[in-house]
């Protein structure tokens, strides 16, 4: 805003029908800024807006943690599940990473418990005949997932084709039961069995 073109007083601004004026003098809070003809100094309004943002953020944070807020989100998700998933997929990687990091910081106890449980499942699903060559193959799968994530900007996971947890068939933590998938596909797959669910998680010849 070019202050040199603004009226010098509120009276001049009213007479000209202008929305703003600029006196060049500090307001009662010490701001030297344009003022609204029907309002306050723009810097005062900006400061008030910033204070309001903090108050609103605190209010919605409390609401989102409340039982009422959680139930409201569940109802919204049940009605708008597909739209929510599509918006999540379309979000830029930086936003996804920021959200994921914030969630982990806010749920550190859950993350630690989940990590511990996952490591236990991996140990239980690793057969006694798991040798050094197999270990190297598994590590290479994780390196591939990491490289694809860096190259594409799209997070990739190492997925168990036959999940380690299932009501019918449980897979092993071995190279031929692993595949690299974009995280969205892995999340959608969850612990579902592959189409040929009667087959074993072993390649021919093993």
Q: What is the pLDDT of residues 43-57, one digit of tens each?
A: 999 999 998 988 888
Residue pair 178/202 in contact (Cβ under 8 Å)? The answer is no
81-134 pLDDT, tens digit per residue, is 999 888 888 888 788 888 888 888 888 888 888 778 778 888 888 999 999 999
First to last CA, the chain: 75
Task: Give the range of the structural domain holding residue 153, as residue numbers without chain letter.
Answer: 86-189
Same domain (yes/no): 90, 185: yes
How is residue 5 annotated by DSSP?
Answer: G
Q: Is 75 a member of any domain?
A: no
Residue with tokens 């070019």: 2
Number of domains in the chain: 2
Residue pair 115/175 in contact (Cβ under 8 Å)? The answer is no
Residue 183 pLDDT: 85
Strand partners for 157: 181
Same domain (yes/no): 55, 90: no
pTM above 0.75?
A: no
Instruction: For 47-81, give one letter per residue: b (16+ CB within 10 A) or e.
Output: eeeeeeeeeeeeeeeeeeeeeeeeeeeeeeeeeee
Same domain (yes/no): 93, 58: no
Same domain (yes/no): 185, 104: yes
Residue 197 pLDDT: 53
Q: Is 60 a member of any domain?
A: yes
């Amino acid at each position: 805003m070019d202050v040199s073109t603004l009226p010098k007083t509120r009276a001049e601004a009213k007479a000209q029908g202008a929305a703003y004026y600029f006196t060049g003098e500090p307001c009662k809070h010490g701001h030297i800024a344009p003022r609204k003809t029907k309002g306050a100094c723009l810097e005062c309004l900006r400061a008030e807006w910033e204070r309001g943002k903090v108050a609103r953020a605190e209010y919605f944070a409390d609401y989102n943690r409340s039982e009422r807020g959680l139930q409201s989100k569940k109802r919204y998700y049940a009605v708008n599940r597909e739209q929510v998933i599509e918006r999540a997929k379309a979000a830029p990687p930086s936003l996804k990473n920021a959200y994921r990091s914030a969630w982990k910081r806010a749920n550190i106890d859950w993350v630690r418990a989940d990590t511990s449980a996952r490591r236990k499942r991996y140990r239980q699903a690793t057969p006694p005949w798991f040798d050094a060559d197999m270990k190297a193959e598994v590590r290479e799968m994780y390196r591939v997932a990491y490289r694809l994530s860096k190259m594409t900007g799209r997070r990739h996971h190492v997925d168990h084709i036959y999940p380690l947890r299932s009501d019918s068939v449980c897979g092993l933590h071995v190279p031929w039961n692993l595949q690299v998938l974009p995280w969205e596909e892995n999340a959608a797959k969850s612990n579902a069995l592959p189409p040929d669910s009667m087959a074993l998680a072993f390649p021919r010849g093993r």
